[in-house]
Amino acid sequence: MKILLLGSGELGKEFVIAAQRIGQTVIAVDSYENAPAMQVAHGFEVINMLDGIELDRIVAKHQPDFIVPEIEAIRTERFYDYEKQGITVVPSAKAANFTMNRKAIRDLASKELGLKTANYRYATTAEELQKGVEAVGMPCVVKPLMSSSGKGQSTIKTTADIEKAWNYAVEGSRGDVVEVIVEAFVKFNSEITLLTVTQNNNPTLFCAPIGHRQERGDYQESWQPARISDKDLYEAQDMAEKVTEALGGAGLFGVEFFLADDGVYFSELSPRPHDTGMVTLAGTQNFNEFELHLRAILSLPIFEITLEKSGASAVVLASENSTKPTYMGLEKIAALPKTDFRIFGKPSSRPYRRMAVALTNDTLETPIEEIVDRAKQAAALIEVHY
């Protein structure tokens, strides 16, 4: 089978590696050369994926069996035409369109499916944002409708923050949609990612919940399994199954939830492997999230997902701009027990760009806090030089 991968970052790279292992052909696409997934794919294309004509051109050129989106900044409305041509869009054209824009997925979850979410409003100007803040109250969170890795996300605590939050959200927005969502701050105790696998001819499956810590709207550490009550887990699984069923198609979804005193709140959904799910590269499951995504796409039956170990991941961030970043300290992290790492191979760096990840695991009986601390200590050993 031939797969056209739209977006070629570190998550795409691991997906390509999984595909290569079972004999699939992958063409990696991104807006810059030598992106991580391009380094391991059979071929690559460099285009602006918001250009529908360019997107049409490479689809016609490669005639893929599958189109697998990895990022948000894509002219996703073209996907409906590709489905009509007999190409499988992953998980589906509807899922890709709805989830690339926070407005569509939030309205689906809240208004159509009746899932519990934070109170929210939309805004296309700073003035509308001010009215939205008045409606949901402070503190509140502002996010661009189209963005990734926390870009453009901020918290409003006072009226003086509103204009600054608007400007930051516009700067961090991807694509050509200048609109934000402002949502009430949920007083949550923790937040989880529930990796949910939908299959064409088999039941929906769930991975053990993943906990994570964020800064600047981007994850810093993740761990599996996260602590969650049986009641909350059942509620989260029920919500995840409802929203993924409504979106259709087969593949792995990263469904995010807040866990609060009054229950579980639906937060966001990604129709692809999730960054917090990189913890599964630590050997926590019988299949990592990239292998699960691939098998579901190819209609290879997944009998079960088993939790084999507890694990954690911790990111390595760049602090400076560089066109030739290099890495030191690999021999130190390699010498640690039950520890691994991935260097993503990004050709350039900028402040806070994710460049690598440290991975640790241990027995299911080991306190998860210890495993997370080891991951953070391991990540600190990798030095990015500029």
Is 338 labeled as ligand-binding? no
Q: Which of 14, 275, 291, 340 is catalytic?
A: 275
Is 268 labeled as ligand-binding? yes
Question: Where are the extended beta strands (E) located within the chain?
Answer: 2-6, 25-30, 43-46, 66-69, 88-89, 120-123, 140-144, 154-156, 180-184, 188-198, 205-206, 210-215, 218-224, 251-260, 263-270, 310-317, 326-328, 339-343, 354-362, 383-385
Structure-derived torsion over alpha carbons of residues 292, 295, 298, 301, reported in degrees to the nearest 10:
-120
Is 70 labeled as ligand-binding? yes
Q: Which of 128, 134, 150, 213 is catalytic?
A: 150
Q: Which of 75, 272, 295, 354 is catalytic?
A: 354
Q: Which of 56, 241, 268, 373 is catalytic?
A: 268
Separation CA 255–CA 237 (nearest Å): 9
Q: Which of 76, 148, 280, 313 is catalytic?
A: 148
268: annotated active-site residue: yes
Is 163 labeled as ligand-binding? no
Is 161 labeled as ligand-binding? no
354: annotated active-site residue: yes
Is 377 labeled as ligand-binding? no
Is 185 labeled as ligand-binding? yes
Is 186 labeled as ligand-binding? yes
Is 346 labeled as ligand-binding? yes
Tokens of 55: 């997107």
Is 102 labeled as ligand-binding? yes
121: annotated active-site residue: no
72: annotated active-site residue: no
Is the Cβ–Cβ distance between 149 and 218 less than 8 Å? yes
Long-range contacts of 231-234 (CB under 8 A, 24+ apart): 232/259, 232/263, 232/264, 233/209
Tokens of 252: 């792995």
92: annotated active-site residue: no
Tokens of 325: 């970043």
107: annotated active-site residue: no
150: annotated active-site residue: yes
Is 191 labeled as ligand-binding? yes
Is 370 labeled as ligand-binding? no
Q: Which of 276, 284, 310, 349 is catalytic?
A: 276
Separation CA 142–CA 102 (nearest Å): 12
Sequence ranges of the binding site for ATP: 102, 143, 148-153, 183-186, 191
Known catalytic residues? 148, 150, 256, 268, 275-276, 354
Question: What residues form the annotated binding site?
Answer: 10-11, 70, 102, 143, 148-153, 183-186, 191, 256, 268, 275, 346, 353-354
